[in-house]
Amino acid sequence: MSKDQKSLLVQGYEVVIGFETHTQLTTQSKIFSRASTSFGAEPNTNASAVDFALPGALPVMNKGAVQRAIEFGLAVNAHIAEKSIFARKNYFYPDLPKGYQISQFEIPVVQGGVVEFFLGDEKKSVRLVRAHLEEDAGKSLHEDFIGQSGIDLNRAGTPLLEIVTEPDMRSTAEAVAYAKELHKIVTWIGICDGNMQEGSFRCDANVSVRKPGAPLGTRREIKNLNSFKFMQQAMDYEVRWQIEQIEDGHEIQQATVLFDPDTGETRSMRSKEDAADYRYFPDPDLPPLVIGRDWVEKTRSEMSELPRVMAARFMTGYGLSEYDAGQLTQSKATAAFFEAVASASGQAKLASNWVMGELSRRLNAEDKSIEASAVNSDQLASLIKRIADGTISNNGAKQVFDLLWTGKHTLVAGSFTDMDAMTLALIESEGLKQMSDTGELEAIIDGVLAANAKNVEEVKAGNAKAFNALVGQAMKATKGKANPAQVNELLKKKLG
């Protein structure tokens, strides 16, 4: 066992996690009917005869749902089945009036695939088993009725793509990082809106523990985790609970559990059914789903650049590190903002530093998305150009950035010919312009050298600290407006 793996052990146990994620697809209408999928409508107004399971109503496949499944498969390098089968998963529940859910069982539409991501600076890859199309169930409403339950079938028949991983994850942190990466992929390609609160992206975490080298332990499945924070808490609790049980001499029973955010605990919902309990069989109402290779290839050619491809391009095209490129492709909007700043300023590295540094710090502090940034890409680019040409220091630029962000300055945007002119005016009016006049700077440095004869002696005797002290004195004498690199250079010339 490598050192890394050892350090991952929790109280001597290895954690094993596999995920099943239900992503709600962004189609306008349902997977087998023409009813709308919009969220929040009056109960039972977005449901058709098919969704109500009226006798004789037949399902018709929504091509848009298949299209999205193909896009997902291509995004994770999976195989798109030439022919997949819809199956009935039989179970009784009031919000499932047909008595079965239409899903895919033996032959799913998306087979295999891999999701790659970073955990800190460590590269991880999680293998997918499959992704299959299925319909969502309705909802039981318990709160509005006393002694009765209501049924809302608006959600019934909403298209889902259920994405299943191999049990490849070895820590709860890795599992959360996987979920975040998957969320990024499905929202990036636009097959899912990613709204976790509304249930568009729900994760089931299968968790087990074992002694290193032992066969897989018995898993318990935590259902419907709809926030990354709860996901982490739920799995951490579950791991501790399972270890405690085993240490106390109990065996883990396979079970389905729910996480209660109020207590921070998981509790058993039901003992886990096996596939055999569902009596799966091919749905006679739906023909096999046949996907021609021309459809797959057309989709491939029309898909926008994927995050990992874009990250690779950022590395080769802009010379960014793998980590930076990964961070900048966290969302399409972030990537677009970075590219706009990089191309308008011609300074990719600075653009990357600023987008991931000052800009994201401000966005986080105010809980804003980059689309709502108070400083736009043109403004940031014009500021970066002035850092690059030495007009302003990085620290000075942070002050200007702050003024642009808060709008606490008196300049009127309309009175300038362009953003560069306005940024320059702002730099000047704030007195943040670095000294560019070499003659003036030289005179100041001569003064500093004359006043610090002792330091000069020490520098000549090879004392590097004394040199830094002179740089500091010179910066002070210019009230911080000199370019430190230029001061360094001039001092070296004069002392050298």
Residues that bind Mg ion (CB under 5 A): 20
- The CB density around residue 358, as the number of other CB atoms within 10 Å, is 19
166 binds, among ligand ADP, Mg ion, none (CB under 5 to 8 A by kind): ligand ADP
CA distance 238 to 236: 5
Residues forming contacts to ligand ADP in the complex (CB under 6 A) are 16-20, 164-167, 206-208, 216-217, 219, 275
CA dihedral 209, 211, 217, 222 (to 10 degrees): 0
Q: Is 269 helix (H, G, I), strand (E, B) or coil?
A: strand
- Shorter beta-carbon distance to ligand ADP: residue 116 or 193: 116
Give the CA angle between residues 181, 185, 188 to the nearest 5°: 130
CB of 485 to ligand ADP, least distance (A): 54
82 binds, among ligand ADP, Mg ion, none (CB under 5 to 8 A by kind): none
Here the contacts of 276-279 (C-beta below 8 Å, separation 24 or greater) are 277/91, 278/89, 278/90, 278/91, 279/88, 279/90
> Which tokens sit at 291?
């996907």
CB of 55 to Mg ion, least distance (A): 31
- Shorter beta-carbon distance to ligand ADP: residue 222 or 459: 222
Tell me the residue nearest to Mg ion as measured from the CB. Answer: 20
- Shorter beta-carbon distance to Mg ion: residue 20 or 285: 20
Instruction: Give one DSSP letter per residue of 324-391, joined into a string.
Output: HHHHHTSSHHHHHHHHHHHHHHS-HHHHHHHIIIIIHHHHHHTT--GGG-SS-HHHHHHHHHHHHTTS
16 binds, among ligand ADP, Mg ion, none (CB under 5 to 8 A by kind): ligand ADP
- Shorter beta-carbon distance to Mg ion: residue 205 or 459: 205
Q: 102 and 86 in contact (C-beta within 8 Å)?
A: yes
167 binds, among Mg ion, ligand ADP, none (CB under 5 to 8 A by kind): ligand ADP
Kindly state the DSSP code that residue 303 receives in the 8-state scheme: S
- Shorter beta-carbon distance to ligand ADP: residue 183 or 219: 219
- Shorter beta-carbon distance to Mg ion: residue 131 or 310: 131
CA distance 346 to 348: 6
CB of 483 to ligand ADP, least distance (A): 56
CB of 20 to Mg ion, least distance (A): 5
- Shorter beta-carbon distance to ligand ADP: residue 137 or 422: 137
Q: Which residues contact 353 (CB under 8 A, 6 or more apart)?
A: none
CB of 62 to ligand ADP, least distance (A): 24
Tell me the residue nearest to ligand ADP as measured from the CB. Answer: 18
CB of 254 to ligand ADP, least distance (A): 9
> Which tokens sit at 93?
């529940």
CA distance 189 to 418: 35
- Shorter beta-carbon distance to Mg ion: residue 20 or 265: 20
- Shorter beta-carbon distance to Mg ion: residue 224 or 488: 224
CB of 270 to ligand ADP, least distance (A): 13
Instruction: Give one DSSP letter per residue of 484-496, joined into a string.
Output: HHHHHHHHHHHH-
48 binds, among ligand ADP, Mg ion, none (CB under 5 to 8 A by kind): none
Give the end-to-end CA distance of the chain in Å, rounded to a whole number.
55
Phi, psi of 95, rounded to the nearest 5 degrees: -85, 10
Q: Is 172 helix (H, G, I), strand (E, B) or coil?
A: helix
CB of 274 to ligand ADP, least distance (A): 7
CB of 225 to ligand ADP, least distance (A): 13
159 binds, among ligand ADP, Mg ion, none (CB under 5 to 8 A by kind): none
- Shorter beta-carbon distance to Mg ion: residue 110 or 397: 110
> Which tokens sit at 476?
């002070």
Taking each helix axis from N to C end, the angle separating 464-477 and 484-495, rounded to the nearest 10 degrees, works out to: 120
Which of 174, 168, 171 has its CA nearest to residue 120? 174
CB of 20 to ligand ADP, least distance (A): 5
